[in-house]
Structure 1
Amino acid sequence: MARAGVTYHDVAKAAEAIKTQGQEPTVDRVREHMGTGSKSTIAPLLKRWRSDNGEAADIGGLPNDLVEVVKSLHERVQQMADHRIEQTRQEFEASNKELRKELADSKNTIAQLTARQQDLESQIERQNKEKSALDKSLEDVRISLVKAEAQRDEAIVRTAELKESIAELKQENKDIRDHFEHYQQRTAEDRQQEREQFRIDTQGLKDQMQELQHRFDQAESRASELFDANAQLQSNADKLEQTNATLNRDLNGKVDETQNLKRDLEDAMTKNQEYQHKNEQLAEKIAALTAQKADVDKELAVLSQALKATKTELKTIQDKVTYLTDENKVILQEKAMILGQFKQLQGSL
């Protein structure tokens, strides 16, 4: 199918112009004269023009068979070259298109794997940060637990000290009671005389006993508070141990999840290497196709050289035919002269 803008009229006009210049209209000359059109478009139009203009007639005195053979050879070589070039171009374009598609798919896959790898790295980094935070929290809990245990031990020691102090106070109270009883016995005989003094001393002892009782009550209250604080510390220690166990379970879960993410990352890296290997294979295929294209270009150059050689040989044949034609004309002229002289001799005889 003729390309838009290239018509039979254009080809015919160009062929006639070339023929007017004394040259043989060929596909290359017509294409060069028009400045556009492909060989596959111009060739059938030029063939039609030759058929319409009776190009089978004698050209420059050449034999018709020789002209037809040369034209047929030229057209066949030209068509073979055009067909081979077009076929090679189509094959190359198809292979190039397929390779470009595979390369684009590989790039997309690599981009997806790279994004997945970055996501995994981000997740691993986030998990590491969370693990560090959990480790810090666990360390804080351990420190708090140690402090709580120290406070508990201190409270136990303090409780023991308070118990000893209470025991001492009880012993002191008992001694005072014993001393008071002994004092009562000693002062029973002169109670009347020393009643006022006894009353004063008794009141003083009562005040002292009240003070000691108050101190004893305070000590018991303090011991009760210490016991409550010890129970609270023990409860806090139990809660801290439970929290520690929970944190350890969460930490183990995070470690397992980190290991799974590392395995996913290794799988992704393996797939990435496989796609890189495929990409290298595609590059090798492209290089091979490029080498094939170079071979086709070389073969095309050889065909072009053969075509040029054929044209040169055709030119040589045309020149030789022209020379033989001229020589034949001279021989015919000489023959005519000899026949005229022979007729003159016959007339004179």
Structure 2
Amino acid sequence: MLYYVLCNMLLNNPRGITMARAGVTYHDIAKAAEAIKTQGQEPTVDRVREHLGTGSKSTIAPLLKRWRSGNGEAADVSGLPSDLVEVVKSLHERVQQMADHRIEQARQEFETLKEELRKELNHANNTIAQLTARQRDLENQIARITEEKSLQDKSLEDARVSLAKAESQRDEAFTRTNDLKKSVSELKQENRDIRDHFDHYQQRTADDRQQEREQSRIVNQGLKDQIQDLQHRLAQAESRTSELLDANAQLLRNADELKQANAALNSDLNGKIEDIQNLKHELEEAATKYREYQRKNDQLAENTAVLTTQKADVDKQVAVLSQALETTKAELKTTQNKAAFLTDENKVILQEKAVIQGQFKQLQESL
């Protein structure tokens, strides 16, 4: 029954036999086996591997068998058939090699998957870092644009204040111009009144001109001086009016320029607002990609957990195979004990048979 089970295991796993690796040589195995035998212990695969500190069981087993064959060492089979012993040994070695091969294969697959997952995780981390940097850049751009908008709002407010001041100055200039116009009108009226008075004085002094010539001359000179002063004041008023009109025109031009600058600032502000909206949209897309990469990262973590579980299952299978090997060893020991018992019993029976044959021979001779 045991032989049948072991054969089925080998048939279902034809790749159980692996090539010996170059890490451990026959010389190393021989030296380790001699050292273990010197210590009074039986050289086994596990003991040789423990003594060397390296090498796989699939590598050590055939080299140890070669050493045993070279030293003429044979196991105590207690009368078992040599074919059965060789078959059991071969099955034991092949089971051991199959277990080592499956463990190594599982380890390599796990390492490969682990490396792939590590690369994907590094790629995801790099992508997340890039998106985080992009997000910081967008935040910095938004802060800078907000600051520029604040400065533009301040400039716009200053422009509005300047415009209000200019409008106030314009209104004040209009008021002063109207006042000056009223002053000019009053001066003209005063001039007309003075001319009327002058004519009146001329008419009154027409009869007494000769007598009052000197007085008339003085009066006329005074009037002329007053007229010149009034004319000078009128010229100054007209010049001041022209200057105020020019200042008003300049204020109107400044107001137009401020209105154009305000329109340009509003247009630039609208462009900045649109850029901010675009940046917010890009930020939302980056956040969506970040969440997608986070989901992939979680999926990779789940895959890692699944691989860990698979590795645990492989370890359990190895433990089951080891248990089956131990069971095989125990059954082999039991078989060896039974064979020894049968051998001893056969010896006793042969001795009894010899005694009976001697007694029978003596009985025949006596007859």
Quote how far apart the aligned CAs of 1:194 are.
Answer: 1.8
Instruction: Tell me the alpha carbon deviations over residues 247-284 of structure 1, each in whole angstroms, 9 at most, x when there is no partner.
Output: 12221221121111111111111111111111111111
What is the aligned partner in structure 1 of residue 204 from structure 2? 186
Instruction: Tell me the alpha carbon deviations over residues 257-312 of structure 1, each in whole angstroms, 9 at most, x when there is no partner.
Output: 11111111111111111111111111111111111111111121122212122222
Counterparts of residues 2-41 of structure 1 (less than 5 Å): 2-3=20-21, 6-15=24-33, 25-41=43-59
Contact kept in structure 2, 1:56 and 1:68, CA below 8 Å: no
- 3-state SS of 1:192 partner: coil
Q: 2:182 aligns with which of 164, 170, 173?
A: 164
- 3-state SS of 1:118 partner: helix
What is the aligned partner in structure 1 of residue 242 from structure 2? 224
Q: 1:95 aligns with which of 102, 113, 122?
A: 113
Whole-angstrom distance in 2 between the partners of 1:58 and 1:259:
89
**Deviating more after overlay: 184-193 vs 173-182:** 184-193
**Deviating more after overlay: 88-97 vs 19-28:** 19-28
Normalising by structure 2, what TM-score?
A: 0.88
Quote how far apart the aligned CAs of 1:199 are.
Answer: 1.7
- 3-state SS of 2:181 partner: helix
Whole-angstrom distance in 2 between the partners of 1:72 and 1:270:
61
What is the aligned partner in structure 2 of residue 151 from structure 1? 169
Q: 2:257 aligns with which of 224, 234, 239?
A: 239
Matched, 1:263 2:281: yes
Whole-angstrom distance in 2 between the partners of 1:59 and 1:316:
11
What is the aligned partner in structure 2 of residue 211 from structure 1? 229
- 3-state SS of 2:277 partner: helix
Q: 2:195 aligns with which of 153, 157, 177?
A: 177
Quote how far apart the aligned CAs of 1:32 are.
Answer: 2.5
Whole-angstrom distance in 2 between the partners of 1:193 and 1:326:
194
What is the aligned partner in structure 2 of residue 69 from structure 1? 87
Contact kept in structure 1, 2:77 and 2:336, CA below 8 Å: no
Whole-angstrom distance in 2 between the partners of 1:7 and 1:121:
64
Instruction: Tell me the alpha carbon deviations over residues 9-65 of structure 1, each in whole angstroms, 9 at most, x when there is no partner.
Output: 232344456567787644223323433321122123234335545678873322223
Whole-angstrom distance in 2 between the partners of 1:85 and 1:128:
62
Whole-angstrom distance in 2 between the partners of 1:343 and 1:18:
54
- Residue 208 of structure 2 aligns with an amino acid whose one-letter code is D
Matched, 1:343 2:361: yes
Instruction: Tell me the alpha carbon deviations over residues 213-261 of structure 1, each in whole angstroms, 9 at most, x when there is no partner.
Output: 1211111111111111111111211221221122122212211211111
- Residue 229 of structure 1 aligns with an amino acid whose one-letter code is A
Give the 3 Å change call, closer, same or farther, for CA 286–265 of structure 1 in structure 2: same
Counterparts of residues 226-305 of structure 1 (less than 5 Å): 226-305=244-323
What is the aligned partner in structure 1 of residue 9 from structure 2? none
- 3-state SS of 1:233 partner: helix
Contact kept in structure 2, 1:57 and 1:64, CA below 8 Å: no
- Residue 9 of structure 1 aligns with an amino acid whose one-letter code is H
- Residue 138 of structure 1 aligns with an amino acid whose one-letter code is L
**Deviating more after overlay: 55-64 vs 293-302:** 55-64
Whole-angstrom distance in 1 between the partners of 2:35 and 2:169:
117
What RMSD over aligned residues (CA atoms) do the two structures have, in Å?
2.3
Contact kept in structure 1, 2:138 and 2:279, CA below 8 Å: yes
Identity of aligned residues (%): 77
Matched, 1:134 2:116: no
Whole-angstrom distance in 1 between the partners of 2:39 and 2:222:
157
What is the aligned partner in structure 1 of residue 67 from structure 2? 49
Give the 3 Å change call, closer, same or farther, for CA 312–346 of structure 1 in structure 2: same
Normalising by structure 1, what TM-score?
A: 0.92
What is the aligned partner in structure 2 of residue 79 from structure 1? 97
What is the aligned partner in structure 2 of residue 115 from structure 1? 133
- Residue 197 of structure 1 aligns with an amino acid whose one-letter code is Q
What is the aligned partner in structure 1 of residue 142 from structure 2? 124
Quote how far apart the aligned CAs of 1:329 are.
Answer: 2.3
- 3-state SS of 1:59 partner: coil
Whole-angstrom distance in 1 between the partners of 2:201 and 2:102:
143
Whole-angstrom distance in 2 between the partners of 1:235 and 1:78:
102
Quote how far apart the aligned CAs of 1:76 are.
Answer: 2.5
- Residue 284 of structure 1 aligns with an amino acid whose one-letter code is E
Contact kept in structure 2, 1:58 and 1:64, CA below 8 Å: no
Whole-angstrom distance in 2 between the partners of 1:2 and 1:69:
21
Whole-angstrom distance in 1 between the partners of 2:82 and 2:37:
18
**Deviating more after overlay: 187-196 vs 216-225:** 187-196
What is the aligned partner in structure 2 of residue 313 from structure 1? 331
Quote how far apart the aligned CAs of 1:332 are.
Answer: 2.3
**Residues matched between the structures, number:** 349
